Amino acid sequence: MCFKEKIIFKFLMFLTIFFVITFSSVNAAPIQLKLATSLPEDNIITTEAKFFAERVEDKTNGNVKITVYPLTLGDTRACLEGIQIGTIDMTFQAELTLLSPEPGIFSLPFLFKNWDHLSRVLDSEPAKKIADLFLKKTGARVLGWMEQGFRVIISRKKPIETVEDLKGFKIRVPEDKVLVRTFELLGARPVVIPWADTYTSLQTGLVEGMEATPPGLYSMKFYEVTNYLTLTNHIHSVLGALINEKVWNSLGEENQKALEEAMKEMIALNRKESRENANLMLMELVNEHKITYNPDTTPFQEKVKPIYDEWGKNTGTGSLIEEILKIK
């Protein structure tokens, strides 16, 4: 082969390799991820999940496509277990203590003074430490902490005007150890019932009432089977935006960066929408109930004080609790 032929051969080889790589890149199948929520289609957590999915697809030029499944891939426990075993790639959930105790700190009663204080805590170094510990113990990475609303109480026949009215009161709570213990300290009889079964449980009288955020209560139409609303604002419902760590590692650096950027945008949206939506849904709940009570929560706060030391000692999170309590 003469010199000229060698040059032509190398050039043709270069073109072949170039087109193969280009063609493969353009026609590579996109990465498909499943994101589950335990809330209805119209709940803002679900709509924000869809916003996140759209931003990820845009930022990756269609290389990563996320399909959002509201209320279709199981309850909170099923979604969290799915994240661990890899049957679900992502989920936005609140009851993270089902997997590890550290996020339970966010559920400690009356921890957050207001929405702004809540945001400062979620952006803090202790919050990052909680996410790191959660990842090490569960294999689920926290891409962001989301806000949903301060929790209130609704009841069927018996109004909750004071802390004494909770004595012996059968109240539905999620499978969250902090919430269960909180209502035990308040003198109530907490009953753990899956979210999807709560409406029937209220309707049949299996429980006398329940507690949750105004958006959650309104989106599930629990006002149809209750009469009274009590604005205790005892706990804020913080959600973790989770992704399976093996899935995360398989995405590659560029896609990971795109997900992080999209998450920051979604968190900013969540901070704005959660406050607006909580206030709007609270107004709707007030309209739907016979009577709304706004009690002095000081006696409630006194009753639940022991849980701070208990949770810290039982879970080894005492130092983290102390760090968060210092945030003003």
Question: What confidence tens digit (pLDDT) does each residue in 203-215 have?
Answer: 999 999 999 999 9
Checking if the pLDDT of 8 tops 70, the result is: no
**Confidence class for position 25, pLDDT limits 50, 70, 90:** very low
Q: CATH no. for residue 219? A: 3.40.190.170
DSSP states of 124-159: SHHHHHHHHHHHHHHSEEEEEEEEEEE-EEEESSS-
Phi, psi of 284 (to 5 degrees): -65, -40
Task: Output DSSP code: residue 163.
Answer: G
For 150, phi then psi, to 5°, come to: -80, 140
On the question of pLDDT at 14 being above 80, the answer is no
The tens digit of pLDDT for each residue in 212-235 reads 999 999 989 999 999 999 999 999
The mean predicted confidence, pLDDT, of the chain is: 92
Two tokens, residue 72 = 């279709």
Q: Is the pLDDT of residue 143 over 90?
A: yes
Cβ 140 vs Cβ 99: under 8 Å: yes
How does residue 1 score in pLDDT terms, banded at 50, 70 and 90?
low
Query: What does the pLDDT read at residue 16?
Result: 55
Coil/strand/helix, residue 292: strand
Going by pLDDT thresholds of 50, 70 and 90, the confidence category of residue 23 is very low
Closest by CA to 75, choosing from 171, 148, 174, is 174
Q: What is the pLDDT of residues 280-311, one digit of tens each?
A: 999 999 999 999 999 999 999 999 999 999 99
Confidence of residue 28 (pLDDT cuts 50, 70, 90): confident
- pLDDT at residue 22 is higher than 90: no
Lowest mean pLDDT among 71-80, 119-128, 251-260: 71-80
CA dihedral 51, 75, 147, 42 (to 10 degrees): 50
Which residues share a beta bridge with 35? 68, 90
Extract the runs of DSSP E, i.e. beta strands, from 151-188.
152-155, 170-173
Q: Which residues contact 250 (CB under 8 A, 6 or more apart)?
A: none
What tokens appear for 188 in the block?
Answer: 């109530």
Asked if residue 2 has pLDDT above 90, the reply is no
Residue 290 Cα distances to 10, 210, 319, angstroms: 83, 16, 44
**Residue-level pLDDT at 74:** 87
Q: Could you tell me which residues are beta bridge partners of residue 172? A: 191, 210
Over the stretch 158-169, which tens digit does the pLDDT of each residue have? Answer: 999 999 999 999
Is 80 exceeded by the pLDDT of residue 13?
A: no
Between 27 and 84, the higher pLDDT residue:
84
Residue 251 pLDDT greater than 80, yes or no: yes
Helix (H, G, I), strand (E, B) or coil at 29: coil
pLDDT at 11: 52
For the segment 22-28, the average pLDDT, to the nearest whole number, is 51
194: which 2 tokens?
């899956």
Chain length of the chain: 328
24 pLDDT exceeds 90?
no
**Phi/psi of residue 2, each to 5°?**
-75, 170
CA pair distance 277, 147, nearest whole angstrom: 11
Q: Which amino acid is at 39?
A: L
Q: What is the pLDDT of residue 39?
A: 87
62-91 pLDDT per residue, tens: 999 999 999 889 889 999 999 999 999 999
Sign of torsion, CA 328 115 182 193? negative
**Which pLDDT belongs to residue 88?**
97
Mean pLDDT, residues 102-129 taken together:
96
Q: Is the dihedral of CA 248, 252, 258, 264 positive or negative?
A: positive
Asked if 74 and 36 touch (Cβ cutoff 8 Å), the reply is: yes
Q: What percent of the chain has pLDDT over 90?
A: 85
Domain span at residue 11 reads 3-325
| Structural domains in the chain (count) | 1
Token couple for 151: 């929790």
pTM, entire model: 0.85
